[in-house]
Chain A
Amino acid sequence: MAHLAPLIMIFPLLGFLLVLVNGRSLSDRATGAIATSVVGLSFLASVACFVLLLHDKSREVSINLFDWISVDTLHVPAALLIDPLSITMCLFVTGISTLIHLYSTAYMAGEKDFRKFFLYLNLFVFSMLTLVLANNLVLTFVGWEGVGACSYWLVSFYFDRDAAASAGKKAFVYNRVGDIGLLLAMFLLFQHTHTLTYLSIFSATSSLSPTVATLVVLALLLGATGKSAQIPLFNWLPDAMEGPTPVSALIHAATMVTAGVFLLVRMSPVLALSSSGRMTIAVIGGVTAFVAATIATSQKDIKKVLAFSTVSQIGYMVLAVGVGAYGAAIFLMVSHAFFKALLFLGSGSVIHSLGGEQDMRKMGALAKWLPLTFPTFLIGWLTISGVPPFAGFWSKGDVLTNVFAHNKILWALGVVTAILTAYYMSRLFVLTFRGTERFREVTHQHDPHESPLVMTAPLVILAVLSVLGGLLDLPWAHGFSLTHFLSPTFGYVAPSAAQSTGLQTGLALVDVVAALIGLFAAFTIWRDRVESDTFEKPFFEHVWRWDDAYDATLGRPLTALAHVTSDVVETRVIDGAVEGLGGSVRRSGEGIRKLQAGLVRQYALAMVLGVTVIVVYLVGRVR
């Protein structure tokens, strides 16, 4: 294991270096092949490690690579922690990454920066794996920021466009705000437990007072909201849709945005110490899920709908974490990765077929033109809406069941959000695949063509996973479920009173009804409509005016402050003082100069007066 686990990370890094060093001498085909295969190898290594871990009794393997930072009492090794949580993350990250790499070889074919795309993508996978496999907070932070940097590069991939460049910058800056939270959490933990390694922190939780623990949890939450796009730092994600669609699928649906949830789950023993912290987490998750769902109902761009959908689904995950249902959160994370990647790649296929059009008002009736994309997208749509027996029903249901046991209000919010989810996804489905053909203008009267096999094969695989994903954690399979596998890594969780099967079935029924309500509502409203003032509120469309609020409270005042500082404080006050000093020296010099008029008689007078003064003084002293 000690030799196999590092390989998981090294393969993508190797891919990155190979493509970097060989530069232009590699053809696009070769580049794509190398990039995809290294991630594939990484997946195989993950599988092998998973199998080895199953046979390991302790289910916790630490692998020390080298001593990274060691100063005084601070010891940060570059070391890996292989445990159920990290290996689960590795499996789905590498698996989905491989599929998306494969998809991208066709989607990005012909782009002039093809090579650079795969460079960034490989580096991203490497960073994400570092994040997940690290055995201490600092190394996690390396991966954390690494994925942020790769996200910056990939979102601003089409850098000729100002919108893309600004979106990349916005993503990085919002992430950074969250990163400050993570930094503070690290500092607090180090100050009280004198270590930053996960296992050591977990065994030292007794040295954390409730106040400190709450502060740490809130700081971690800030970090998570930045990376996972939750309130109040979520409005970078829709802008990030400027990046190519595979990027949106990989980074902004399946992997990077889940990093925040992963961090919170990883730190669950610390979360166990602070109930107010957990409550805050749950509220943030629930509210975000709801708000994002309302925004998604009024978006006109297919990718933006999916983006807000991601924010909403992650809200569910955060909500689950907040009530202590860590297993449910990870289950939803994994299944969400499947169906969200499917939906994004499917939408990529749609966009590709229409020559780049992303506005749903210009789509419609694509079902018959895209024979593979359509059914796979249909499965994805049903899954996310929570229709049984697909994965979404089981995973979202798991979350909601756990939330019900802890907080009825948040549960109700979750159910309303589920209705909205079904509604906006069905709206998307109807506008894109059913209804009338509205795309003839953008395709210049040509027929849309289905995507090549390299693009549709991943769709099929993901669709199968979405169908079967529920098997990972069926409510009645206690020994053989994901939650059971993961539970050793979770901190103490107050056991929810075992819910009667009757209650569970009842809740499940509520979920199904919610899904059906949303579905039928959407079909009824959007069957004949393309736009609607009643159902597409500008408030929702403009993200509850969130960007405007930040602009008014932070953006413009800070810019004004900057200009005042630069024009007034710097030039007039501080430098003014310095130059003023020089000026006053000069002016006093000029003043004193006047004493030297060149007139001899004046000098003589001065001498006489001076002598007189001295003489009078001396004579006075004699007396």
Chain B
Amino acid sequence: MTTIPASWFLVLAAVLFGVGAFGVLTRRSALIMFMCIELMLNAVNLTFVTFARTMSDIGGQTTVFFIMVVAAAEVTVGLGIVVAVFRRRSSTSVDELTELQG
């Protein structure tokens, strides 16, 4: 069985990262933005794992664990805020949340 070249994984991760970034920048719904952020984080995870495999350095995989924990914590807090906002405004559009403007 031929091994899949590492560059394909990196390209996939880059594409996922790009899609996620694009989604964060263009979507209005807070939930979708969070999902895109998750996408970006997981793209990064993929990159780390790939390099861990190619460079035979376990450090990459431990970093992935850190990222996953941080992602989980951030999503919890973030979704909590989104739910609180949704209760007040019945909308998840981030464009309406401009009270903290200069």
Classify A-B as touching or not with yes or no (CB < 8 A): yes
Q: Which A residues have a C-beta under 8 Å from some C-beta of B?
A: 592-601, 604-605, 608
A154 to B95, CA, bound (A): 82
- Asked if B25 CB lies within 8 Å of chain A CBs, one says yes
A600 touches B94 (CB 8 A): yes
Q: Is the CB of B21 within 8 A of A598?
A: no
Q: Is B100 an interface residue (CB 8 A)?
A: yes
Measured in the bound complex, the distance between the Cα atoms of B33 and A238 in whole Å is 94
- CB closest chain-A residue, reference B30: A600
User: Chain B interface (Cβ within 8 Å of chain A)?
Assistant: 21, 24-26, 28, 33, 94-95, 97-102
Known contacts A604-B24, A605-B25: A596-B94 contact under CB 8 Å? no
CB within 8 Å for A599 and B25 given contacts A592-B102, A594-B102: no
B24 (CB) vs chain A CBs: closest residue: A604
Closest to A596 in B: B102
In the complex, the answer to whether B94 meets A601 with C-beta atoms within 8 Å is yes
Report the minimum CB–CB distance from A333 to chain B (whole Å).
Answer: 83
- Knowing A604-B24, A604-B25, A605-B25, say if A599 contacts B98 (CB, 8 Å): yes
Contacting pair A599 B102 (CB below 8 A):
no
Can you report 18 residue pairs joining A to B where beta carbons are below 8 Å apart?
A592-B102, A593-B101, A593-B102, A594-B102, A596-B101, A597-B101, A597-B102, A598-B97, A598-B100, A599-B98, A600-B97, A601-B25, A601-B26, A601-B28, A601-B94, A601-B95, A604-B24, A608-B25
- Closest B residue to A601 by beta carbon equals B25
Question: What are the residues of chain B within 8 A of A593 when measuring CB–CB?
Answer: 101-102
Give the docked Cα–Cα distance between A596 and B100 (Å): 8
Name the residue of chain B whose CB is nearest to the CB of A593: B102
How many angstroms from the CA of A593 to the CA of B98 in the assembled complex? 13
In the assembled complex, the Cα of A114 lies from the Cα of B97 at a distance in Å of 84
Q: A596-B101, A597-B98, A600-B94 are in contact. List 19 more A-B contacts (CB 8 A).
A: A592-B102, A593-B101, A593-B102, A594-B102, A595-B102, A596-B100, A596-B102, A597-B101, A598-B97, A598-B98, A598-B100, A599-B94, A599-B95, A599-B98, A600-B33, A601-B26, A601-B95, A604-B25, A605-B25
**What is the CA–CA distance of A597 and B97 in the complex, to the nearest angstrom?**
10
Q: In the complex, what residues of A have CB within 8 A of residue B25's CB?
A: 601, 604-605, 608
Cβ–Cβ < 8 Å partners of B100 in chain A: 596, 598
Q: How far does the Cβ of B8 sit from chain A's closest Cβ, in whole Å?
A: 21
**A605–B48 Cα gap in the complex (Å)?**
24
Q: Which residues of B contact A600 (CB under 8 A)?
A: 33, 94, 97
Q: Give every chain B residue within 8 A of A599 (Cβ-Cβ).
A: 94-95, 98
A-B pairs, 3 with minimum CB distance: A598-B98, A598-B101, A596-B102
Chain A's closest residue to B22 (CB) is A608
B48 CB → nearest A CB, Å: 17
CA distance A599 to B33 in the complex (A): 13
CA distance A592 to B99 in the complex (A): 17
CA distance A597 to B100 in the complex (A): 8
Cα separation A337 to B88 with both chains bound (whole Å)? 102
Instruction: Give min CB distance, B46 to chain A, whole Å.
Output: 18
